[in-house]
Amino acid sequence: MQFNHGVNLSKPAWIVVCRHSRDFHLGQAASVKRQFERQAGADWDFVCLTDRPSEDWHLPLRTDWPGWWSVLEAFRLTGQPHVACDLDTLLYNDVRPLLRLAESCPPSVLYGLRDLGKPAQWASGVMVWNGDWSFIADRFDPAVHPRRFRGNQDYTAWAVKQEPGRHLGYLQDKVSGIVSYKYHLRGKHAQPPAGTRIVCFHGKPRPWNVEPKEAPWVGEYLQKYAHSAPASRTMNTENHILNFGAVLWERDHLRVLEALNGETEPGLHLRARHVGGVLELRESITATDIDATLRRHGVNLNAPVDLEVWRAFRHPERHRRGGNAAEKGRSDQAETGRGDESSPMVAGQATDRRHSTTAAGGPAALPEPVRVAPMFFSRGQWMWRIFITDRRCFWC
């Protein structure tokens, strides 16, 4: 894949890459942008490479490389100092030392993280470069390299070592205060210690999935820099899904209703990720009922809420291969109305009888197991329901 020697920007830029998926959307990119703009001056721009460009700070992705492989397109940007980070990164405090490092960075060095879990390895969660590094993307072969390398950072480290006169550097050797939520903060600090600049999440949990009781400061920080994002749309043969990132209802309700075409007939299903947890409704509602429904279930609409709305006859993440346990737990609860008290669903403060908590907030009694029947889906495929009882999951 050739990029015509890259794209020259007029100013240095902080870069994120957002290919829409179940985990990532442009609302998160906008949140990182606001975190960055709080600290950077007018000398630096913020750029998002995305498959759904809609703002003047968006640049279109040129390939269909999936997942983390799309991060390689960041090396299209040349001719200026650049810093790139993952979307699940918090720019917690003064990041100007990174900008100064980029401005003074020799064109022969690509800085990345000393892997926060395996210090002997180079990692791409935060990168700094200057000059033209587009050869990294130019030489990537999507038919070969994904089978050879575990991910984009392993490929990037290999590609740099193949290029004469180029080498890798480690950011922690130049800039202090880059920490891991998993290894340095989780269960150890009520707040990031003084001097923390960047908090990397590198996997599960994502910052927006951290339970409030585990680290309240994460949700408070994200709420401060929440940003309204356009609705993202996912289509498949069974579902029509709309995702709305960081909705503030007073500001964004017209946008939400417009995206739903002002539907008044029943049949919409709703999941809301909010400061208090995750609320997922079993019953169907209309678009005009969203406001009242969320308030009835205790969702604070004065704070940002991520909404997922779909019209479907089954849960959008049901039977999806490779789903993580937490997501499977939420989909199972949506189907059966049961779950244990430690689940994110219960943290959603649901008080309706169709949920697995009581009005007093405690866990409801679990019903006896129900008889499980097969479900017939399109294209001749037979799928089977899951049911949960006594904290155990049974397939039939």
**Residue at 319 is within a domain:** yes
**Residue at 157 is within a domain:** yes
**Residue at 331 is within a domain:** yes
CA dihedral 146, 150, 152, 158 (to 10 degrees): -90
Verify that 121 and 150 share a domain, yes or no. yes
Give the model's pLDDT for residue 98: 95
**Residue at 385 is within a domain:** yes
Verify that 269 and 384 share a domain, yes or no. yes
Q: Give the β-pairing of 89-91 and 7-8.
A: unpaired
**Residue at 2 is within a domain:** no
pTM > 0.85: yes or no? no
CA distances from 139 to 2, 131, 156 (A): 8, 17, 10
Verify that 167 and 243 share a domain, yes or no. no
- The count of residues in the chain is 396
**Residue at 299 is within a domain:** yes
Q: By the 8 A CB rule, do 98 and 171 touch? A: yes
Verify that 211 and 258 share a domain, yes or no. no
Number of domains in the chain: 2
CA distances from 340 to 44, 62, 283, 315, 366 (A): 48, 44, 20, 19, 9
Verify that 243 and 216 share a domain, yes or no. no
- Single residue among 224, 250, 279 that ends a domain in this structure: 224
Provide the residue range defining the domain that includes 389.
232-395
Verify that 265 and 218 share a domain, yes or no. no
- What CATH number has the domain bearing residue 150? 3.90.550.10
- The pLDDT profile of the chain, 396 residues, written as one tens digit per residue, is 334 445 667 889 999 999 988 788 888 898 899 999 988 877 899 999 999 888 889 999 999 998 899 999 999 998 899 999 999 999 999 999 999 999 999 999 999 999 877 788 899 999 999 999 999 999 999 999 999 998 999 999 999 999 999 999 999 999 999 999 998 998 888 889 999 999 999 888 888 888 888 898 988 888 777 644 444 444 443 455 677 777 878 777 777 776 776 666 667 888 888 877 888 887 788 877 888 888 888 888 888 888 888 775 444 444 344 444 444 444 444 433 333 333 332 333 333 333 333 334 444 443 443 333 443 333 434 344 444 444 444 443
Give the model's pLDDT for residue 152: 93
Give the model's pLDDT for residue 115: 82
Verify that 203 and 291 share a domain, yes or no. no
Verify that 368 and 257 share a domain, yes or no. yes
**Residue at 1 is within a domain:** no
If you write DSSP's letter for every residue of 250-294 in order, what string do you get?
HHHHHHHHHHTTT--SS-BEEEEEETTEEEE-SS-B-GGGHHHHH
Q: How far is CA 44 from the centre of its chain?
A: 24
Gap between the Cα atoms of 154 and 158, Å rounded: 6
Verify that 209 and 246 share a domain, yes or no. no
Verify that 195 and 270 share a domain, yes or no. no
Verify that 214 and 264 share a domain, yes or no. no
Residue in the block written with tokens 């709309």: 242
**Residue at 357 is within a domain:** yes
- Single residue among 204, 224, 244 that ends a domain in this structure: 224
Verify that 374 and 242 share a domain, yes or no. yes
Q: Give the β-pairing of 13-18 and 45-50.
A: parallel
- Single residue among 202, 224, 246 that ends a domain in this structure: 224
